[in-house]
Amino acid sequence: MVKRTSFENDPCPVARALEVIGDWWSLLIVREAFFGVRRFNEFQGKLGLAKNILASRLRTLVEHGILRPVPAADGSAYHEYLLTPKGQGIFPILVALRQWSEQFDPRPEEIATVLVDRNNGRPVRTLELHAEDGRLLSPADTTLQPRSTAKSKKAGTRSSATSN
Amino acid sequence: MVKRTSFENDPCPVARALEVIGDWWSLLIVREAFFGVRRFNEFQGKLGLAKNILASRLRTLVEHGILRPVPAADGSAYHEYLLTPKGQGIFPILVALRQWSEQFDPRPEEIATVLVDRNNGRPVRTLELHAEDGRLLSPADTTLQPRSTAKSKKAGTRSSATSN
DNA sequence: CGCAATCAGTTTCATCATGCAACCAGAAAG
DNA sequence: CTTTCTGGTTGCATGATGAAACTGATTGCG
């Protein structure tokens, strides 16, 4: 790789997100955390990844404020990894990934689980993008605007490099 | 790497999605495609990635049915890469990533752009997960159920391994 | 038509990251 | 107090990534 290119200074929010959670394991670790997995060995057992990789990922997830090590839990001297609010904010991303697979996977019959409303056991709705006034928006109904730095509001039409 | 572990047979739809678009460049390529980028050099210029990597990524995106090479376009003998419906289905994932950055990035002032309604230039709403009946759902309001194989409807409480 | 520049890659080659396995210290259990 | 469990770290082997150089068509231009 000669240094995997870093996106942390990229002005694109998508790139910035990928910089943090865009690797092969981080999102799966977070997914497990959503299901109550908290301990090192538990993550390792569920995901089957190497311990050094897990240790490394947990470290960076903690550094990025996605997981938080809490001192104890059941009384033992070890610690557990809990989702922070920032970590919980990843939920829509997981849902979007899941729904994309559900819709387009070439072998959907191999998908084992469905995300349901705990209340009545019925599948959740597909995520939709809405306008401020509630209208449903398709990709084509949207554009990127340069971030309004306190002023300016219209602009549209993207310009240079990796600027979206 | 001694063979990066593959998720393509994992029953978890999140893992399956990551198998396809979970690397460092694919989602950014798709993002550019949403903005009308179509040609090899154009991708390369915007993203600044090595040509061999780009060639490799484009190939797998085409293999997975996310991009489609169309013979011509402006009359030249080259071809262009267009998003398929499956590729367009990635939009919510990009939006979810973008919104996560917007909400939790430690230096949000460095984010250059805002996704707006093309109609009136106002920011779009944040993605929300809703129940079938329209109620807003938080992560805690949801569970995973084993996929109903024609029959059965209640079950809850996840069981074994990487099964969500 | 002839030649230079462009497009779309492919081919080395060096370096980095990943994965496996082995090892290890501190805590808990017996 | 020896054993086991937890939560790692260390040391390779190998694959993935990236920079740069190279190639073979295609186009642009005089």
pLDDT tens for residues B43-60? 999 999 999 999 999 999
Which one has a higher pLDDT value, B150 or A89?
A89
Query: If you average pLDDT over every residue of chain A, what do you get?
Result: 88
Q: Is A41 exposed, middle or buried (0-12, 13-18, 19+ CB in 10 A)?
A: exposed
Strand C contact at CB of residue A104, distance < 7 A: no
Question: Which of A43-52, B70-79, B107-116 has the lowest average pLDDT?
Answer: B70-79
pLDDT digits (tens, 9 = 90+) for B105-147: 999 999 999 999 999 999 999 999 999 999 999 999 999 999 8
Boundary (domain end) residue, out of A65, A86, A107: A86
Is position B151 within any domain? no
Q: Has residue A60 got a pLDDT over 50?
A: yes
Q: Has residue A18 got a pLDDT over 60?
A: yes
Q: How far apart are the first and last CA of chain A?
A: 25
Q: Has residue A142 got a pLDDT over 90?
A: yes
Is position A151 within any domain? no
Which token pair is B6?
């593959």
Which pLDDT score is estimated for A163? 38
Q: Has residue A76 got a pLDDT over 90?
A: no
> Which residue range is the domain that position A128 belongs to?
91-141
CB contact under 8 A, A17 and B100: yes
Q: Integer distance in angstroms from CA B108 to C1' D28?
A: 45
Domain of residue B29, CATH code: 1.10.10.10
- Name the closest nucleotide to B2, judged by C1' and CA: D14
What are the DSSP E strand ranges found in chain B? 67-70, 80-83, 113-117, 142-146
Q: How confident is the model at residue A78 (pLDDT cuts 50, 70, 90)?
A: very high
State whether A131 and A68 are in the same domain.
no
Is position A119 within any domain? yes
Is position B47 within any domain? yes
Boundary (domain end) residue, out of A70, A86, A102: A86
Q: How confident is the model at residue A41 (pLDDT cuts 50, 70, 90)?
A: very high
Q: Has residue A13 got a pLDDT over 50?
A: yes
Q: Which of A91, A89, A22, A162 is nearest to B103 (CA)?
A: A89
Which pLDDT score is estimated for B73? 65
Which pLDDT score is estimated for B1? 57
User: What is this model's ipTM?
Assistant: 0.90
State whether B82 and B96 are in the same domain.
no
Q: State which amino acid sits at residue A2.
A: V
CB contact under 8 A, B105 and A139: no
State whether B96 and B84 are in the same domain.
no
State whether A60 and A96 are in the same domain.
no
- Name the closest nucleotide to B3, judged by C1' and CA: D15
Is position B6 within any domain? no
How far is Cα B45 from Cα A81, in angstroms, rounded to an integer?
A: 41
Using the Cβ of A119 and the Cβ atoms of chain B, whether some distance falls under 8 Å is answered with yes
State whether A24 and A82 are in the same domain.
yes
Interface subset of A 4-43, CB within 8 angstroms of B = 4-5, 9, 11-18, 22-24, 27-28, 31-32, 34-35
Q: Integer distance in angstroms from CA A36 to C1' C25?
A: 28
Boundary (domain end) residue, out of B88, B109, B128: B88
Q: Has residue A160 got a pLDDT over 80?
A: no
Question: Which of A43-47, B60-64, B72-76 has the lowest average pLDDT?
Answer: B72-76
Is position A50 within any domain? yes
Who contacts B104 (Cβ-Cβ below 8 Å, separation ≥6)? A65, A85, A86, A89
A-chain residue closest to B94, CA distance: A14
CB contact under 8 A, A161 and B46: yes
Q: Has residue A64 got a pLDDT over 60?
A: yes
Q: How confident is the model at residue A143 (pLDDT cuts 50, 70, 90)?
A: very high
Which one has a higher pLDDT value, A86 or B112?
A86
Interface subset of B 60-79, CB within 8 angstroms of A = 65
State whether B80 and B96 are in the same domain.
no
Is position B8 within any domain? no
Q: How confident is the model at residue B66 (pLDDT cuts 50, 70, 90)?
A: very high
What are the DSSP E strand ranges found in A5-148? 67-70, 80-83, 113-117, 142-146
State whether B78 and B95 are in the same domain.
no
Strand C contact at CB of residue B64, distance < 7 A: no
pLDDT digits (tens, 9 = 90+) for B13-43: 999 999 999 988 999 999 999 999 999 999 9
pLDDT digits (tens, 9 = 90+) for B77-104: 899 999 999 999 999 999 999 999 999 9
CB contact under 8 A, B164 and A113: yes
State whether B63 and B23 are in the same domain.
yes
Which pLDDT score is estimated for A127? 98
CB contact under 8 A, B153 and A121: yes
Is position A157 within any domain? no
Which pLDDT score is estimated for B159? 35
CB atoms under 10 Å from CB of A106, counted, come to 12
State whether A79 and A128 are in the same domain.
no
- Nucleotides in chain D with any atom closer than 7 Å to protein CB: 6-11, 13-21, 25-28
State whether A79 and A26 are in the same domain.
yes
Which token pair is B88?
């367009």
Which pLDDT score is estimated for B150? 56
Tell me the average pLDDT across A57-85. Answer: 91
How far is Cα B32 from Cα B82, in angstroms, rounded to an integer?
A: 11
State whether A21 and A76 are in the same domain.
yes
Number of domains composing chain A: 2
State whether B72 and B96 are in the same domain.
no
Interface subset of A 87-106, CB within 8 angstroms of B = 88-106
